[in-house]
Amino acid sequence: MDAIKSWLGRSGLASVAILAVLLLVVFPLAMDSFRLNLVGKYLTYGFVAIGLVMLWGYGGVLSLGQGVFFGLGGYAMAMFLKLEASDPVSTKIQSTPGIPDFMDWNQLTALPWWWEPFNSFAFTLFAVVAVPVLLAFIVSYAMFKRRVGGVYFAIITQAVALILTVLIIGQQGYTGGVNGITDLKTLMGWDIRTDEAKTLLYFLTAALLLGAILLCRWIQLSKLGTLLLAMRDKEDRVRFSGYDVSMFKVFAFCLAAALSAIGGAMFTLQVGFMSPSFVGIVPSIEMVIFAAVGGRMSLVGAVYGALLVNFGKTYFSETFPDLWLFLMAGLFIGVVMAFPNGLAGLYESHVKPWLARRKQAPAPAGTGGEPPAPTTEPAHKPATVATATTAASATSPSLGTKISSQSV
């Protein structure tokens, strides 16, 4: 038991375990199917948020265009589901049966060639990740090889978000335009609109998210994670240590894109549609806020950030629809000004020391004021041992705890 405990502490996985219990046990027991589906939807933003932890927190590269990859993943999934929902029987009232309804409304008479591969589920799963990663690779390779970074890179990602939104809305016949791809029904014959399906999809999302956190944690603990931190600190030193800095940034950007895309695909499955309103500049900035509120150095914190901000958004936008955007802006400014490391940072700087103080306080009290004499008073022995172990754990900041303390 102690061995497990120390291993969890060392690798910083204790907080992941707590999150896992919360997502897989507490929420499903405490919530009805509707609320659980809502949480499932928020969790899909958790993918984007942990991607931003890797890219922004670790890599020091701020992207204000993560909605692009969320959207591309979501659209890839939506295209498959739409084709399945558009079989010739259920679309027989259209002038061209067998193609998605919005194509028919836009006078298309055949399925565009690039829609064809999305008849295959295997290809769709591949495309959910591959298309966003390819775009991320092209954009980031072109930028980072030319040493474009910082604010300029953020602006370019915004431009990409805008371009994609305009493209999707403009090409209504191919993309469903501003309405998006709606009316999705089944996945390989399995009705995704039932409560049962939604619960199952919730668990799938939660499990994938936990898997993604573990993957990112592994990357953080690898040399690549160290290099990302090193690059953020002294980029030139990394470059002049023989590393091609741009390729590491490209990797971080592609990783964040892939995670966002998986989130997008799970979003489409749970919500039942995908539209340009999840792609553009505003949703992309909201995604950055999730990571900022949760803590951009903390994977688990980012997930809590995504959950909290979205709960807040749902609650406030129902109660004060006009005020929500101002509240959101206020929240972002407040977080950046007051606690730049987010909730996880607050935990590290306030809650953790407080817990440690509480834990340590009773131990010296047990030994009293005078020095213990364990040989003559065996009753005092356990107390001394306890003090010794807490003192040892407090005074030896080993490498593992050092790294884990600034993350997860």
Contacts with another protein by CB under 8 A lie at 219, 222-224, 226-227, 229-230, 233-234, 236-245, 247-248, 250-251, 397-399, 402, 406
Position 175, amino acid: T
Distance CA 376, CA 385 (A): 15
Distances (CA, A) of 66 to 125, 173, 334: 19, 25, 22
Cβ closest to another protein, residue 360 vs residue 401? 401
Q: Is the Cβ of residue 203 or residue 243 nearer to another protein in the bound state?
A: 243
Cα 173 to its chain centre, rounded Å, is: 32
Task: Identify which of residues 7 and 190 has a Cβ nearer to another protein in the complex.
Answer: 7
Task: Give the up-direction half-sphere exposure of residue 54: CA atoms within 13 A in the CB hemisphere.
Answer: 32
CA dist 137 and 160 (Å) reads 13
Question: Which token pair is 235?
Answer: 């980029």
Q: What is the 3-state secondary structure (H, E, C) of 132-195?
A: HHHHHHHHHHHHHHCCCCHHHHHHHHHHHHHHHHHHHHHCHHHHCHHHCECCCCEECCEECCCH
Q: Which residue has the tokens 């629809």?
A: 321
The smaller minimum CB distance to another protein, of residues 62 and 229, is found at 229
Is 239 or 380 the residue whose CB approaches another protein more closely? 239
Least Å distance between CB 113 and another protein?
34
CB of 61 to another protein, least distance (A): 15
What is the closest distance, in whole angstroms, from the C-beta atom of residue 198 to another protein in the complex? 36
How many whole angstroms separate alpha carbon 361 and alpha carbon 371?
17
Least distance to another protein, CB of residue 238, Å: 8
* DSSP of 272-331: S-B-GGGTSHHHHHHHHHHHHHH-TT-HHHHHHHHHHHHHHHHHHHHH-TTTHHHHHHHH
CB of 129 vs another protein, minimal distance in Å: 17
Name which of 253 and 304 has its Cβ closer to another protein. Answer: 253
* Residue 147 and residue 82 in contact, taking contact as beta carbons nearer than 8 Å: no
Give least dist CB 298 to another protein, A.
15
Alpha carbon distance, N-terminus to C-terminus of the chain = 22
Instruction: Choose between 229 and 306: whose C-beta lies nearer to another protein.
Output: 229
Would you say 8 or 219 has its CB closer to another protein? 219
Q: How far is the CB of 342 from another protein (least distance, A)?
A: 17
Minimal distance, residue 236 CB to another protein, in Å:
7
